[in-house]
Amino acid sequence: MKEDLENEIEAINSIYGDDTLVAADQAGVYVLNLPNHDTSFRVEFPQEYPDVPPTVLGTQSSGEHARRGHAAHVLDVFRDAVGRLFQPGDVCLYDVIEDVASSLDAAKEEEPEERDDLRVHDFHENLETSQTVDATEEAPPWTISDVVIELKSVFVARCAPVSSPEQAKQYLQHLLDSDKKVAKATHNITAHRIKGSNGVTYQDCDDDGESAAGGRVLHLMQLMDLWNVMVVVTRWYGGQKLGPARFGIINTVARDAFVKGGFVHEQESTSSKKKGKR
């Protein structure tokens, strides 16, 4: 590998992430995962590069939810950028990536925004149609929160009364087995608080990959003094990171489910108001 190409690969992966440009199974061919997009390409760098341009062999992957024809469009944009920006003797990949990203972002801004209220309505409809509950098994008495959509990430919570940790596990398993949409979600964050017999209490939570989220939901339940209830907060990742704001949304939908399910008593609401006046 020529030093120019080696340095360019190192620089690209340092800027955009380690898996941005990786070697393929063919000498001189690399897979370029376009930053912040689902599309990836196979790019061949000739021995003479950067004296001669790289060759874009085609699309490696277009992403699971790509619109029809989108990958071909991105490939055309990428090839056009290589043709315009390549100068013999100079590496060009960083400039090409930035140019493509800028072009795609500009095109996206010109597309009409999909109204969130319509998306929420459609999502509620999908919640119903995606369920495939076994008619012989009684479904848990879930109460479902309002759906919250933020930067294309979708959040919804379900809560149900439970009397034992075993029942909480059964309810969660029933949900995952009976609802394909939930089972395929990015995260299903759970928490429960249960008062058993003889004064024994049970508290537990599970982040399901959303670091610290389960503990935050459990802490919310502690603040609200909720018992004998479980909650499942489901998130479908929309492709854009939300940062710490995601924890606020997770707690918001969880609390909404608790309120709708009748688990929040007037005493808790009054106590919260008093705390707010301090």
Residues of the chain within CATH 3.30.230.30 domain(s) are 116-277
Confidence of residue 269 (pLDDT cuts 50, 70, 90): very low
CATH class as words, domain 116-277: alpha beta
**DSSP state for residue 41 in the 8-state scheme:** E
Tell me what pLDDT residue 64 has: 56
Residue with tokens 């459609």: 122
Whether the Cβ atoms of residue 162 and residue 168 lie closer than 8 Å to each other: yes
Tell me what pLDDT residue 216 has: 92
Residues of the chain within CATH 3.10.110.10 domain(s) are 3-110
pLDDT value at 135 more than 60: no
Residue 238 CA, chain-centre distance (Å), reads 5
pTM over 0.75: no
Confidence of residue 136 (pLDDT cuts 50, 70, 90): very low
- pLDDT digit string, tens, across residues 11-47: 888 888 888 999 988 888 999 988 877 788 899 999 8
| Fold of the CATH domain 3-110 | Ubiquitin Conjugating Enzyme (3.10.110)
* Dihedral sign of CA atoms 212, 240, 39, 186 in order: positive
Confidence of residue 105 (pLDDT cuts 50, 70, 90): confident
CA dist., res. 100 & res. 78, Å (int): 6
pLDDT value at 147 more than 80: yes
Tell me what pLDDT residue 259 has: 94
List the beta bridge partners of residue 253.
none
Whats the size of the chain, residue-wise? Answer: 278
Mean pLDDT of 72-99: 88
Q: Mean pLDDT, the chain, as a whole number?
A: 82
pLDDT value at 3 more than 90: no
Residue 221 CA, chain-centre distance (Å), reads 24
Whether the Cβ atoms of residue 191 and residue 230 lie closer than 8 Å to each other: yes
Tell me what pLDDT residue 199 has: 80
Confidence of residue 74 (pLDDT cuts 50, 70, 90): confident
- pLDDT digit string, tens, across residues 154-173: 999 999 999 999 999 999 99
Burial 101-140 (b: 16+ CB within 10 A, else e): beebeeeeeeeeeeeeeeebeebeeebeeeeeeeeeeeeb
Confidence of residue 142 (pLDDT cuts 50, 70, 90): very high
CA dist., res. 86 & res. 49, Å (int): 11
